[in-house]
């Protein structure tokens, strides 16, 4: 859907403004060791979106544009990112043959990495996002209630054009007017990618500096490769998280001697054939001894968990009723080490060493 913008004679050069989005609703069964299982109607198995985007040609190859995007929930009518109406993205940019400069609330390169290397759906069922959340990785879909792992406020980003298959982005956020736990993180993130034919490789680096009383320092990187053969998309990725543990939820003081490095290994495959798409994923988190049985820093309720070695797997199937509407079914499960409480569903946690699972089916529509 598009609507012309002609608010004044000065707006004559404005192109059309596009309204776009995707929404889903599903019925699911959640379970966790030591807790009662439950059935529910929910939304955003994959993140919902409602967005507005527009561009204007300024001449000489220079283009100005904007993106305003929120996350509606069909089951309640609410919005994500702590209730922000435009919590997914809200930014302005200038773009030319030399690249794009974006200022505002911006999707991170780590989010794009996570979507690309997820075979069964970014966010709810797939082990990539769930194991990243468990370890406290900066590339998790959520690092706190404001979803800093996917996006950040008060930021400036440069994105290069693609040259010979290579591209990169560099982002810096100011972390102003509020604590990390309220979504005002200060961080630096670099994304790099190369693609040629059926093969591609990507690298993301993130540094969160220590700010006393606000955020605990951590360094994260991820590398992934993808290859398509005979219609099957194969993918593998490795995540590294170096950081400290905290003694209690919300603490901004690291436990002395708790600095360590956790690593997550993931593989996946997806196969589209006609209207059918099938995907499978498997992942394993190996945590540092210094982190075992403790909480990762820079995490907020309800996502903070006790960490231990954890494995996860998922399967997903979708059937395209049309180009815009799909039926889907997905199953995901996590299995914790003896001291871990990682969960697919943050508000239904297993007892230490337990398992968590989600079985869901529903419908998704894009517009």
* Structure tokens, 203: 């690298």
Sign of CA dihedral 350, 355, 356, 359: negative
| The pLDDT value given to residue 46 | 87
Distance CA 262, CA 290 (A): 10
**Inter-residue contact 173 to 185 (CB < 8 Å):** yes
Please give the C-alpha separations between residue 31 and each of 62, 113, 120, 349, in angstroms, as whole numbers.
52, 29, 19, 9
**Cα dihedral 217→243→80→191 (10° resolution):** 80
Tokens encoding 47: 């993140």
Tokens of 327: 């039926």
Those residues with Cβ within 8 angstroms of residue 256's Cβ, 6 or more apart along the chain or in another chain: none
Domains in the chain, number: 1
Q: What is the pLDDT along the chain (367 residues), one digit of tens a residue?
A: 444 444 444 444 557 899 999 999 999 999 999 988 999 999 988 889 999 999 999 999 999 999 999 999 999 998 888 788 898 999 999 999 999 999 999 999 999 999 999 999 876 889 999 999 999 999 988 766 676 788 999 999 999 999 999 999 999 999 887 777 677 889 999 999 999 999 999 999 999 999 988 899 999 999 999 999 999 999 999 999 999 999 998 899 999 999 999 999 999 999 999 999 999 999 999 999 999 999 999 988 888 999 999 999 999 999 999 999 999 999 999 999 999 999 998 889 999 999 999 999 999 999 9
Where residue 312 sits, what CATH number does that domain have?
2.40.160.10
Reduce the DSSP state of residue 131 to 3 states and report it.
helix
Whether the CA torsion 108, 113, 119, 124 is positive or negative: it is: negative
The H-or-E segment that residue 132 falls in is: helix 127-135
User: What are the residues facing 66 on neighbouring strands?
Assistant: 54, 92
| pLDDT value for 1 | 44
Q: Which domain holds residue 344?
A: 2-366
How many whole angstroms separate alpha carbon 151 and alpha carbon 226? 24
Q: Tokens for 13?
A: 């050069």
Contact status, residue 154 vs residue 178, Cβ threshold 8 Å: no
* Token pair 């690309």: residue: 116
Helix or strand or coil: residue 10?
Answer: helix
- With a CB cutoff of 8 Å and minimum separation 6, the contacts of 135 are 239, 241, 262, 264, 285, 287, 291, 296, 307
């Amino acid at each position: 859907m598009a609507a012309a913008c002609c608010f004044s004679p000065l707006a004559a050069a404005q192109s059309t403004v596009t309204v776009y989005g995707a929404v889903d609703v599903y019925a699911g069964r959640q379970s966790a060791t030591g807790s009662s299982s439950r059935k529910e109607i929910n939304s955003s198995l994959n993140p919902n979106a409602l967005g507005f985007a527009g561009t204007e040609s300024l001449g000489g190859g220079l283009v100005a544009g904007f993106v305003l995007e929120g996350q509606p929930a069909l089951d309640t009518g609410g919005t994500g990112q702590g209730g922000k109406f435009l919590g997914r993205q809200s930014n302005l940019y200038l773009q030319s043959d030399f690249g794009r400069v974006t200022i505002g609330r911006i999707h991170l390169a780590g989010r794009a990495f996570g979507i690309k290397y997820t075979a069964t759906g970014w966010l709810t069922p797939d082990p990539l996002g769930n194991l990243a959340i468990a370890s406290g990785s900066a590339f998790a879909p959520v690092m706190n209630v404001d979803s800093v792992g996917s996006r950040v406020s008060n930021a400036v980003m440069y994105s290069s054009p693609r040259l010979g298959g290579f591209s990169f982005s560099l982002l810096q956020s100011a972390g102003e007017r509020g604590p990390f736990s309220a979504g005002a993180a200060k961080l630096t993130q670099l994304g790099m990618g190369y693609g040629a034919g059926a093969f591609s490789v990507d690298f993301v680096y993130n540094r969160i500096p220590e700010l006393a009383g606000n955020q605990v320092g951590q360094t994260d990187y991820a590398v992934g490769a993808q290859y398509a053969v005979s219609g099957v998309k194969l993918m593998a990725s490795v995540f590294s998280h170096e950081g400290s543990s905290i003694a209690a939820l919300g603490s901004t003081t690291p436990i002395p001697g708790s600095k360590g490095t956790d690593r997550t290994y993931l593989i996946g495959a997806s196969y589209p054939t006609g209207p059918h798409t099938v995907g499978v994923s498997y992942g394993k988190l190996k945590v540092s001894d210094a982190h075992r049985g403790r909480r990762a820093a820079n995490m907020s309720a309800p996502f903070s968990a006790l960490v231990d070695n954890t494995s996860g797997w998922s399967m997903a199937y979708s059937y395209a009723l049309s180009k815009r509407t799909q039926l889907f079914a997905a199953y995901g499960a996590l299995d914790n080490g003896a001291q871990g409480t990682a969960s697919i569903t943050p508000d239904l946690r297993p007892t230490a060493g337990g398992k968590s699972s989600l079985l869901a089916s529903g419908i998704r529509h894009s517009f």
